[in-house]
Amino acid sequence: MRTVAEHQSVVAELLVRTEVVELGLAEAAGLVLAQDLVAARALPAFDNSAMDGYAVRAADVAGASVEHPVALPVAEDVPAGRVDGPPLAPGTAHRIMTGAPVPEGADAVVQVEATDGGTVTVLVHEERVAGTHVRTAGEDVAVGETVLTAGTELGAAQLGLVAALGEPTVRVHRRLRALVLSTGSELVAAGQPLVHGQIHESNGVMLCTALRAAGAEAEQLHFVADDVEAFHAALAPRLEHVDLVLTSGGVSAGAYEVVKDALTGQGVEFAKVAMQPGMPQGAGRLRGVPVVTLPGNPVSSLVSFEVFLRPAVRGAMGHGRTHRRVVRARLTEALDSPQGRRQYRRGVLDEAAGTVRPIGPPASHFLRWLAASDCLLDLHEETTHLDAGSEIDVWVLDT
Ligand SMILES: Nc1nc2c(c(=O)[nH]1)N[C@H]1C(S)=C(S)[C@@H](COP(=O)(O)OP(=O)(O)OC[C@H]3O[C@@H](n4cnc5c(N)ncnc54)[C@H](O)[C@@H]3O)O[C@H]1N2
Ligand code: MOO
């Protein structure tokens, strides 16, 4: 049997790094920057006011107080967006708004609360040292500075910075395109009636959602019956358009294992992995396209995705951090685990308390408990029993 680590490497090596593309900022959310971003413009772009108030010369308001205010004629009104930039004559003030350019000749801003708010003549009640409430050009970002490095994931703050620098696009590793194909003659789409022996198909939407959450594009092919010809016929037209085919079902030891039958000898290798759930696995290439075959049991499918696919997909899209956050937590109850198998149990984590509560039985059809969990308990191969209070590794299924 393969170890989990061995099969993780097989899957990770299968997926190649996606190409670099230039995308608009909204489309690039969550993707990884492919090259350093060097600022072509400064931030702030010009000296501007941090307050609504009056642009003055500090020397003109020296000694100002409530008892002895300094009176200055208000020569100009400068709202944010005014672009003609009249200079400030000595002994005068400009009424100025937050974000408006500080006029040449001014070196401080007195906020309106420290004045009488006059529009013809203003009485200034407080003195200011030069530089007060002036946001200096380039104090945040200087031209030529590297503000984001290749490998950075573009979240809200990063994309805000790129936009502020005036760049409409970024060069990123494009999303990996995955095709999800569920197999099984018993499968019927949600919304359709069942007859005894049929079930509602659920792995398709589950795996597509997991792929999209990992940043990939996912397309669900209508699930196919346990028929090798139908399998190839469904796949053929889409194969050359995708970076990954992800199947579920049809890989164990039965008489009708469509995925195994269709892909054995075609470049896909099937193996048992020493884990529970998720023992029967397959990976390889079909006509050059990476194919990963997951077991059909829903919990096996999603746990296998977490263990093998998610890190590989994120790695292929250039992410430095490919794995889930792992924390140590104390078990709230005792657990048993099969000797020689890495077991992933479902649980609910209380990070503040440092505890994790296992939920649901270990078998791989208990979908409801998977849906109620927020973490996976990682029980190592050599572990057979853990007492309540034992510390274990927990994968946090949030980011
Ligand atoms: N004799 C043996 N039998 C089985 C073995 C074994 O080693 N020897 N392994 C077991 C384990 S472990 C697993 S996991 C499953 C894997 O089976 P397959 O990947 O071949 O999956 P299927 O047989 O097609 O389906 C298993 C189970 O999951 C349901 N299923 C499948 N696809 C979907 C779907 N898209 N949506 C919802 N549910 C799905 C299916 O109806 C079955 O109940 O094999 C064990 N057997
Ligand atoms: O190993 Mo299979 O994946 O439970 O349940």
Q: What is the pLDDT of residue 222?
A: 80
Ligand 1 first shell, C-beta below 6 A: 182, 184, 186-187, 199, 201-204, 248-254, 257, 277, 279-280, 295-298, 300, 364
Ligand 1: centre distance to CA 298 (Å): 8
> What are phi and psi for residue 162, nearest 5 degrees?
-60, -45
Residue extent(s) of CATH 3.40.980.10 domains in the chain: 4-18+175-316
Residue extent(s) of CATH 2.170.190.11 domains in the chain: 48-135
The span from the CA of 247 to the CA of 233, in Å, is 14
pLDDT digits (tens, 9 = 90+) for 108-139: 999 999 999 999 999 999 999 999 999 999 99
Tokens in use for 335? 């657990």
The span from the CA of 54 to the CA of 106, in Å, is 10
For residue 114, give every residue at least 6 positions away whose Cβ sits within 8 Å of its Cβ, in sequence order, or none: 53, 124, 125, 126
CATH no. for 325-396: 2.40.340.10
pLDDT digits (tens, 9 = 90+) for 138-185: 999 999 999 999 999 999 999 999 999 999 999 999 999 999 999 999
Percent of the chain with pLDDT over 70: 100
- pTM for the model stands at 0.92
Ligand 1: centre distance to CA 349 (Å): 29
Closest by CA to 220, choosing from 175, 260, 182, is 182
Residue extent(s) of CATH 2.40.340.10 domains in the chain: 325-396
For residue 353, give every residue at least 6 positions away whose Cβ sits within 8 Å of its Cβ, in sequence order, or none: none
Exposed/middle/buried for residue 70 (C-beta within 10 Å: 0-12, 13-18, 19+): buried
Indicate the residue type of 157.
Answer: A
The span from the CA of 177 to the CA of 290, in Å, is 11
Closest by CA to 371, choosing from 202, 251, 199, 257, is 202
On whether ipTM exceeds 0.95, the answer is yes
DSSP state of 60: G
CATH no. for 48-135: 2.170.190.11
The class (CATH top level) of 20-42+147-173 is: alpha beta
Pocket test for ligand 2, best of 270, 300, 337 (most atoms within 8 A of CB): 300
Ligand 2: centre distance to CA 203 (Å): 14
Whether ligand 2 lies within 6 angstroms of the CB of 297 is answered as: yes
Helix/strand number for the chain, H first, E second: 8, 27
Three-state SS string across 225-280, please? CCCHHHHHHHHHHHHCCCCEEEEECCCCCCCCCHHHHHHECCCEEEEEECEECCCE
Minimum-distance ligand 2 atom for the alpha carbon of 303: 3
Exposed/middle/buried for residue 140 (C-beta within 10 Å: 0-12, 13-18, 19+): middle
Residue nearest to atom 41 of ligand 1 (CA): 186
Closest by CA to 154, choosing from 42, 319, 323, is 319
Q: What is the pLDDT of residue 399?
A: 66
Whether ligand 2 lies within 6 angstroms of the CB of 277 is answered as: yes
Could you give the angle at the alpha carbon of 368 between the alpha carbons of 195 and 324, nearest 5°?
Answer: 130
Handedness of CA 78, 84, 87, 89 (dihedral sign): negative
CB 330 within 8 A of CB 356: yes
Residue extent(s) of CATH 3.90.105.10 domains in the chain: 20-42+147-173
pLDDT digits (tens, 9 = 90+) for 20-45: 999 999 999 999 999 999 999 999 99
Q: What is the pLDDT of residue 15?
A: 98
* pLDDT tier, 364 (very low <50, low <70, confident <90, very high otherwise): very high
Question: Which run of H or E residues covers position 210?
Answer: helix 203-213
Whether ligand 2 lies within 6 angstroms of the CB of 279 is answered as: yes
Closest by CA to 187, choosing from 175, 199, 173, is 199
CB 378 within 8 A of CB 306: no
Residue nearest to atom 3 of ligand 2 (CA): 278
pLDDT digits (tens, 9 = 90+) for 218-260: 999 987 888 899 999 999 999 999 999 999 999 988 888 899 9
CB 370 within 8 A of CB 299: yes
CATH 3.40.50.800 fits 4-18+175-316, yes or no: no
CB 347 within 8 A of CB 360: no
